[in-house]
Structure 1
Amino acid sequence: MDPSVQAGPATASADRYALVGERGLDVDLSVSGEPWGTRFDWGCSYGGKSWAADGSVMYDLVVVRDDGSVQTVASWSAAGEDARGLSASTDVQRDDIASVQVRLRGDDRVLADVDL
C-alpha cells in the first residue's frame, strides 16, 4: 500500500441527529462534510417490530439538495429489530444538502427526516 494513502474514519467532525419517524422508526444519524462530499453513518430501530429476514421491507436514505433535487445515497433491507453500522457517501457537498430523509423503497412518503 502506498504510504501516502491513509485509510480510516471520516476526517471532519460529524453532526449527530436523532430522527423520530412514523411507525416507530428511530434513526441515529451522523453527517460529516468531507473534501470529496458528504459521509453518512447511521443506525435505526423499528419500534420493537422484528422484520423477516427475507428482505421484503426496503428503506432508502435520501438527500434533498437546496435546489429541491433528490438523490438516494443508500438502501437497506429490514431484518430483525434494528440495523446498526450503516454508512454511505455522496459527492454532494454538505453545504448543498437541505435535508436527509428515510423512505420506504419505491414510496415518496417520508418516514423520518431532518433539516440540515
Structure 2
Amino acid sequence: MSAPVDPYRDWGAAYVLGSLAPAQRREFEAHLGGCPDCAADVAALAGVPGLLSAVPRDRAVALLEPEPAGTPSVLPGLLAAERSRRRRARVLAVAAVVVAALAGAGVTTLLRPPPAVVVVAPDVPMRQTVPSPVTASLRLVEQPWGTRIEVRCSYAVPTSGPTPPVFAYALYVVDGQGSAVQVATWTAGPGSTTLPVATTRLVRSEVTAVEIRLVDRDLVLLRVEL
C-alpha cells in the first residue's frame, strides 16, 4: 500500500509568492505547524521572490505551477524520493527561466544575488501577558521582500486539574503605527510543540512587536517588543 499523498505539497510556492486565496493561506498556515516537509519547502523557496520580482507577477506564478499529477506505480520510498527531487529541480528551473526571460526581454541590468540573510535576535523569548501553559520564542529573518518569522510554541501539560482542550492561536505583527496584522494561525493541545512560519512585507525595522493571541477571545497570551 502506497503512502498517502500530502495534498498541500505543491502549495509552498504559491504561499511564498502570496498568490493563495485568504482561506487557502489560513488553511496552509495551520498545516505548516505540523508538517516539517512543507515548512522546509517554504524555507527553501524564501529567496525565490527576490528573483521573481524582476518579471511580471502573473508570469512568475505560472513558472511555479505544480506539475500534472501522474500515477506512477512505484514503492512508497521511491515515490517520496522522486517528489523531493522534483521540488528541488523546480526551484532551480524557476531561477533559470527567470534569467532567460530577462535576457529575452532585453534587460541589460545584471541580476545581483539577494542580500545575505540576516537573523535578528534569534530565539527571542516571548513574555506572557496572562498566566497560561503556553510559552514561545521566535526569530526574525530579514529577506529582500520583507521579514520571515519563525516561531517555536509549546503547550505544557498541567500537573493538576482537568486537561485543557485544544485551542486555536494566531500570530500578529505590530508596526510602528501600532497596527496589528494577523500573519499566521494554528491549533495546539497539551504536550504539543508547533513551529509556525509566517511572512510579512514589513522590513525588520518596521516590526515593533509580535503577539500570540487566543483566537476565540482575541486575547493576547504572549508578546515581545522589538
Shorter-chain TM-score tier: 0.7 to 0.9
**Alignment RMSD, CA only?**
2.3
Structure having the larger proportion of residues in strand: 1
Structure 2 unmatched runs, 5+:
1-92, 99-115
From the CA coordinates, give the structure whose radius of gyration is larger.
Answer: 2
The Cα shift of 1:108 comes to 3.5
Amino acid at match of 1:19: M
**8 A contact 2:147–2:204 mirrored in 1:** yes
- Report the number of matched residues: 109
1:2 aligned counterpart, secondary structure: helix
Between the aligned partners of 1:83 and 1:60, the Cα distance in structure 2 is: 15
Unaligned runs of 5+ in 1: none
TM-score between both structures, scaled by the size of structure 2: 0.43
Relative to structure 1, the CA distance from residue 106 to residue 19 in structure 2 (aligned partners, 3 Å threshold; closer, same or farther) is: same
1:36 partnered with 2:128: no
Is the CA contact (8 Å cut-off) linking 1:66 and 1:98 kept in structure 2? yes
Residue from 75, 85, 89 that aligns with 2:195: 85
Question: Residues 55-112 of structure 1, C-alpha deviation per residue, up to 9 Å, x if partnerless?
Answer: x510000011110111001000114522333211011111111100000114343100
1:12 alignment partner in structure 2? 118
Q: Report 1 or 2 for greater relative contact order, CA contacts < 8 Å, sequence distance ≥ 6.
A: 1
Confirm or deny: 8 A CA contact 2:141 2:149 kept in the other structure: yes
The structure with the largest helix share of the pair is: 2
Task: Say if 2:153 and 2:195, in contact at 8 Å, map to a contact too.
Answer: no
Q: Is the 8 A contact 1:43 1:82 kept in 2?
A: no
Q: Share of identical aligned residues, percent?
A: 29
